Amino acid sequence: MPEPLPSVDITAYLARPSEAELEIRRLFHADEPLVICDIGACEGEDSVRYARLFPRARVFAFEPLPDNQALIRANFTRYAVANAELVPLALSDCAGEATFHVSSGRPPELFAGPDWNYGNKSSSLLAPTQDDPMYGWIEFKQKITVPTETLDNFCRARGLDRIDFIHMDVQGAEYLVLTGAGFILPRTMALWLEVSDQQLYQGQKLRTDIEQFMNDHNFALGIENHREIEGDQFYVNRCFARVWPYLAAKRATQFARRLHSAVGRVKARLLNPNPAR
């Protein structure tokens, strides 16, 4: 048995607003009784964030890896979180059991400090596409069997008829979770998830696939944060009138930026009508 992962102090992480937090604060008030699902909760850092940000919310932290479950429990205790619940399973497109590919490793550059748990954040229901370490340092030396469930079944069992916000980070298995949420997804107001332009895991749907799926299900893209290969996207459900002012503000900001850029190009041509060729 491997040694349990060391607990990391996430106070500094919580003190700095995440991009997802900044977006949902534009949609929701702090005193609302929200339903929030943190899918692929890892150490529970974002579950703690949302539970503290919305003290009347019900936060469900879905995490199938036992070592991470221990870290979640420790963080819920350390930060006195009473409105978040650990759900020890993997969400997928069907209920039962599945092989879970456990990640480990440590990058050559410790970009988040020497004590950060780097290796425990890439585990997935999907196998990696290559045998070589992902990004040169993430390894998958262990496979375990984990229980799986669909988000629809979970919501029915808990009597949930809506979800206000989903934060999803499931390392390539996003499409499995989404297809297991056919009932509850139209009743979900906002969703944050990771996308990739490269197939890092076998069977992984790429960014364009996820974008098409979300558009087909009446979700509009609010913001996206591109990195070299992977990135994050924030969607809102067009069927909720509450998101319309948010979308209008986003569109106005985008138009203003495009206009500013166009004006800058016109000014540059006027000041330099004969650029060197």
CB-based contacts of 143: which residues, under 8 Å, 6+ apart?
Answer: 99, 100, 101, 102
pLDDT of residue 3: 52
Mean of the pLDDT values across residues 181-198? 98
**Closest among 7, 10, 68 to 41, alpha carbons compared:** 68
Q: What average pLDDT is seen over the chain?
A: 92
Compute the distance between CA of residue 65 and CA of residue 170 in angstroms, rounded to an integer: 12
pLDDT in the model for residue 275: 65
**What CATH fold (topology level) applies to the domain 11-239?**
Rossmann fold (3.40.50)
**pLDDT of 191 strictly over 90:** yes
Helix (H), strand (E) counts: the chain? 8, 10
Residue 272, pLDDT score: 79
pLDDT 10s digits, 166-185: 999 999 999 999 999 999 99
Tens digits of per-residue pLDDT, 113-129? 777 787 889 999 999 99
Q: Rounded to two decimals, what is the model's pTM?
A: 0.90
Q: Could you state, in order of their start, the residue ranges of all structural domains in the chain?
A: 11-239, 244-277
Average pLDDT over residues 156-160: 98
Question: Which among 161, 231, 249, 243 is positioned nearest to 192, based on CA atoms?
Answer: 231
Neighbouring C-beta atoms of residue 164, cutoff 10 Å: 22
Over residues 23-50, the mean pLDDT reads 97
Q: Can you tell me the distance from the alpha carbon of 220 to that of 232, in angstroms, rounded to the nearest whole number?
A: 14
d(CA 140, CA 119): 10
Amino acid letter, 204: Q
The one-character DSSP state at 119 is: G
